[in-house]
Amino acid sequence: MQVYQTIREAAYEANMQLPALGLVLFTFGNVSAADRSKGLFAIKPSGIPYQELSPAKMVVVDFDGKTVDGALRPSSDTLTHAVLYKHWEDICGIAHTHSTYATAWAQSLRDIPVYGTTHADHNTVDIPCASPMSDEMISGDYELQTGYQILNTLTARGLSHQEIEMILIGNHGPFTWGATPAQAVYNSAVLENIAHMAHLTESINGTVGRLKESLIRKHYERKHGPQSYYGQ
């Protein structure tokens, strides 16, 4: 339907960036695009290869994950997206991938330490790795619980979803979000890059420490602070 054309196109364009940026193998990833005024989001259909996608194939669902429009079954991760949209009222895009380096950190059950300014340009803290879920959460409504695991992990660490737009789910892989679906995909690519360089950093110097606070603050604020001077 024409009425969902904007989010379908936004979701389509953002999904197509995943293979273009080298973040997915086969169908191992998905992006969604929300329309806050309607309380809906468009998401990749489950298991369809990227080269077969089109805006029309995007599935429109509500913030409880129920399909509103679309002939295909939505991504199996739809409920995770739904939970985040429901709780975080200012995001309009979410991305999930199994990108190689970010996923390796998730499998390693480790936060990614802030080792450099590339990291600090985007986040002032280590990128959190949520613990694997309890057996109860897994055997329950798994994808819904994945969403709550993300919410709870940020809360437990005193972080807001504006301060950090990326997380690792232990043993699984990364989720990222942002004001737009394009921003969510951007964050996925940045996270993969940070994950790659953090791994190399530890290989090159096994005793290296985190970036010092003054440098973290400086880089984050020149890009995101009230006196930011990066970009146009």
Instruction: Name the site residues for a copy of itself (rule: CB under 8 A).
Output: 25-26, 28, 45-48, 72-73, 76, 98, 100-101, 103-110, 115-118, 132-133, 135, 138-139, 142, 171-173, 186, 189-190, 193, 196-205, 208, 211-212, 214-215, 218, 222, 229-232
The H or E element containing residue 86 is helix 78-87
- Minimum Å distance from CB 175 to a copy of itself? 13
Instruction: Indicate the residue among 22 and 39 with the shorter CB distance to a copy of itself.
Output: 22
- Is residue 101 within 8 Å of 32, Cβ to Cβ? no
Instruction: Indicate the residue among 19 and 88 with the shorter CB distance to a copy of itself.
Output: 19
The strand pair at 173-178 and 93-97 is best described as: antiparallel
Rounded to the nearest 10°, the torsion over CA 223, 181, 101, 49 is: -160
Instruction: Indicate the residue among 161 and 172 with the shorter CB distance to a copy of itself.
Output: 172
- Minimum Å distance from CB 183 to a copy of itself? 12
- Minimum Å distance from CB 166 to a copy of itself? 15
- Location of structure tokens 């259909």: 45
- Minimum Å distance from CB 38 to a copy of itself? 25
Residues marked active site are found at 121, 230
Burial 163-176 (b: 16+ CB within 10 A, else e): ebbbbbbbebbbbb
- Is residue 129 within 8 Å of 110, Cβ to Cβ? yes
Instruction: Indicate the residue among 38 and 222 with the shorter CB distance to a copy of itself.
Output: 222
Q: State how far the Cα of 97 lies from the Cα of 100, in Å rounded to an integer.
A: 9
